[in-house]
Chain A
Amino acid sequence: MDVIEIFASAGLWGAVLRIATPLIFGTLGALLCERSGVLNLGIEGIMTFGAMIGWLTVYSGGDLWTGIMAAAFFGALFGLLHAVLTVPLGLSQHVTGLGITLFASSLSYYIFRLSVPLASSPPTITPFQPIFIPGLSDLPFFGPALFSQTAPTYLGIALALGLAYVIFRTPLGLAIRMTGENPHGAEAQGVNPIAVRIGAVMAGSALMGVGGAFLTLSAFNSFFPTMVQGRGWVCIALVVFASWRPGRALLGALLFAFFDAFQLRLQNVIGAIPYQIFLMFPYLLSIAALVVMARRARVPQALMQPYRRGER
């Protein structure tokens, strides 16, 4: 198989959508938090917890969508914790977020270990199956490439468009943007910036949880520690790359997933280079994206600035 064949294989394009899905959810979640002015570095831990609790829900007899809901619910709960610490109390968003990540991931391992005894191979569940869309899924090439995904993937794409609408076309979105740009301005117009931020962080964190759950409920069928593998941090970089716009976040996640899927296949073609070089690629790509966009992107002006009434 050579490089051209990789592009021509439907498997590559199917994999792109699959790899992109957790990134889409995570990036949209982080984007929503940041649009309101809160950096949420809890994302890595929240995704881990979402992956664990989603899996555990299904493993203990819940259905797959209940698993997704559980991940969203607990994601929102961790979001609430992050929001309470960083919004009314105004604690450092960097340090609090890292604390949330460390807490949420160790808690997921603890709960997982407590619920599932140590075994040589991790127990599995039956994950989401690809949705068969009559007429589309059996198209040659395009069927397997684009229309053989599981439901959460389509949900993620729809969500990106929906979030773009909410942020740019509704009064709520305007209130969120104003809060992220100038919370004093929001307050002066009768919008409560503290409530907006808490709400946005909770909703965003719920999306992060769902992104994590996709890993165990669709991409794989079991949970193991460290499975999130820095995807959360990649999402944080993608938000900058997307210039805080949901549509571009979707494109960014797809582009990123494309490179990731491509390098996986390239490994088989080019044998002489150690596989670790290929695996470094996503992280280096994220750093490159940050470098390119850091000065160009229009950052929400009040990002990471705590808001206290009457204090400027």
Chain B
Amino acid sequence: MTQTPVLELIGISKRFGDTQANDDISISLDKGEVVALLGENGAGKTTLMSILFGHYTPDSGVVKVAGVELPQGKPRAAINAGVGMVHQHFSLSANLTVLENVMTGTERLFRLGSNTRAGRKKLMEISERFGLKVDPDARVGDLSVGEQQRVEILKALYNDAQILILDEPTAVLTNIEAEKLYATLREMAAKGLSLIFISHKLHEVLAAADRVVVLRGGKAVAERKAKDTDRAELAELMVGRRVARPVREASTPGAVVLSARGVSVGTKLTDLDFELRAGEMLGIIGVSGNGQTTLAHLVSGLVAPDDGTFEVFGEPVTRASVTAMIEKGVGRIPEDRNAEGAIGDMTIWENAVLERVFSSRFSKAGLVDRQAARTFSSQLVERFDVRGGDPDKRIRLLSGGNMQKLILGRNLMDDPKILIAAQPTRGLDEGAIAAVHARILQARKAGAAVLLISEDLDEVISLADRIQAIAGGRLSPPVDADKADPRQLGLMMAGDWDDVEPAHAH
């Protein structure tokens, strides 16, 4: 074939400070083709797409659309050339309507009036043609996540995009919604659009793409036709070595240490039932935004139940108290490291002891015992292999994986009886994930009861003994992890669990 590719990235390099985010990457895309860009967090996928779209200027390299070079650093130029970007974090405004979101920036700024009639007509046509139905006058904040993504795609199509870039498009979707999305994308390719999507999920890449480009450490390390490769090969290419995630061994659960019967919290959680035994792990799977945050806050002592019975070691909890939870021996890993887990501008030792500083171990008569605190954090850094963990350094300087090791460590140092792990591996690379999993399994083996709240299906299936799904603030009955299949869990995550046969705690 001698046809000019619709899009070419040639020799793109970009450096941020000490990291080479992109190193001489070249990729091409043909008309009607779907290319997947596969790589771990930090492999350089998002940087590359930001360069393509003009958010960043590359240190070297060019972007060509239909053989014509794009000026650098001008999003508007990319849009005009027919490149549309669908962002992972939607670039939408919740307070504006669908039509307003779509029309922003599409008319000359200093026009005296906006031609909303023409805009509405065009939007309806596109939405008709590609089967992406939305109400143009709905406030975006009132739409579901799936609908918001539709708006995000419509926005690109409204700009007459011929090339669509999708950044982790299924990150916030249930697997059923994701399957629908990929069907839509294939259909769009069949109608002549060309697509690149970014993902780190192997099965998606294999199912939806024609061609897969693997990025690792800022380099394009391999390129495969989707039909000529398999999961194992892609996994190894992506990670660069064989990394086996640890899997749970059988255990004998002990007494019930944590239980909820009919627990409700505001409008976020409704009528929850679960129980957790010593030495077992209960996995809570669900799509982001279905009440996980409140659930994590409930078991971490930040909110109290409004209704129902919530018991820790058989004692009912009626008042929210973090310190009471910590004193009872509950270790807590917050779902967002940077927002709740660490205070970036405080030192590592301060972060290590902050939640236990009230205890006589780290303070006397209201004064912080810095000696004890520093010793504790040095031991922690040593035992949990926190790279670059000088106690007097600000924690901001640690990588995500090492920060998570520190957070894990400060909870595991004292062998907690209960461990709450909310999204413990979110945003980590494969090596760090394996390390975190090993630590959590270790705690379970040592007799801790573990509550694992996660969006990662593979993670929950391989670690948890029993699994409950959370949807719309309600919990499904538990199923045995051994008997669970992804299809069934997918239905449960969508809130459909009437046919589920509950597992009985042993």
Chain A in direct contact with chain B (Cβ < 8 angstroms): yes
User: Contact: A171 with B96, CB < 8 Å?
Assistant: no
C-alpha spacing A172/B104, complex, angstroms: 9
> Among the listed stretches B34-42, B109-117, B369-377, which one makes contact with chain A, having 4 or more residues with CB under 8 Å of it?
B109-117
Bound Cα distance from A178 to B93, whole angstroms: 7
Residues in B100-139 with C-beta less than 8 Å from chain A: 100-101, 103-114
Q: Chain B residues near A178 (CB, 8 Å)?
A: 93, 96, 100-101, 104-105
Of the listed stretches B84-92, B416-424, B426-434, B463-471, chain A binds B84-92
B92 touches A185 (CB 8 A): yes
Contact assessment for A170 and B113 in the assembled complex, using a CB-CB cutoff below 8 Å: yes
Q: Which of B50, B104, B112 contacts A189 (CB 8 A)?
A: B104
B377 to chain A, nearest CB (A): 29
Residue of A174, A175, A184, A189 near B89 (CB, 8 A) is: A184
Q: Are B75 and A175 in contact (CB under 8 A)?
A: no
The CA of A92 and the CA of B79, in the complex, are separated in Å by 33
**For A171, what are the chain B residues with a Cβ–Cβ distance below 8 Å?**
103, 105-111, 114
A-side binding surface: helix, strand, loop or mixed? helix
Q: Give Cα A41–Cα B369 distance, bound, in whole angstroms.
A: 42
Residue of B nearest to A184 (CB): B91
- CB of A242 to closest CB in B, whole Å: 15
Question: Is B346 on the interface with A (CB-CB < 8 A)?
Answer: no
B56 at the interface (CB under 8 A from A): yes
**A 165-185 to B, binary, CB cutoff 8 A, 1 in contact else 0:** 000011110110110011011
Q: Which residues of A contact B105 (CB under 8 A)?
A: 171, 175, 178, 186, 189-191
Could you mark each residue 325-343 of chain B with 1 if its beta carbon is under 8 Å from any beta carbon of chain A, else 0? 0000000000000000000
Question: Which residues of the other chain, A, contact B268 by a CB distance below 8 angstroms?
Answer: none
Residues of A within 8 A of B159 (CB): 189
For the complex, count residues of A whose C-beta is within 8 A of B: 24
What residues on A are CB-neighbors of B75 within 8 Å? 187-190
B-side contacts of A170, CB under 8 Å: 111-114
**B360 on interface, CB distance cutoff 8 Å:** no
A170–B105 Cα distance when bound, in Å, is 11
Measured CB to CB, the nearest residue on chain B to A177 is: B96
Q: How far is the CB of B165 from chain A (nearest CB, A)?
A: 11
Cβ contact within 8 Å between A185 and B108: no
* B76 CB contacts on chain A under 8 angstroms: 190
- Bound Cα distance from A188 to B79, whole angstroms: 9
A221 sits at the interface (CB 8 A):
no
Please give the distance in Å from A229's CB to the nearest CB on chain B. Answer: 34
Q: Tell me, rounded to whole Å, the shortest Cβ–Cβ distance linking A81 to chain B.
A: 24
**Would A186 and B104 count as touching, CB distance under 8 A?**
yes
- Alpha-carbon separation in the docked complex, A312 to B339 (Å): 13
B321, CB-defined interface residue at 8 Å: no
Cβ of A94 < 8 Å from any Cβ of B? no
Q: Does A113 contact B (CB under 8 A)?
A: no
Q: Complex: how many Å from CA A74 to CA B105?
A: 30
Which residue of the partner chain, among A169, A181, A310, A312, contacts B93 with CB atoms under 8 Å?
A: A181
Extra A-B contacts (6), CB below 8 Å, given A178-B105, A190-B79: A170-B114, A171-B110, A172-B109, A174-B96, A174-B104, A189-B91
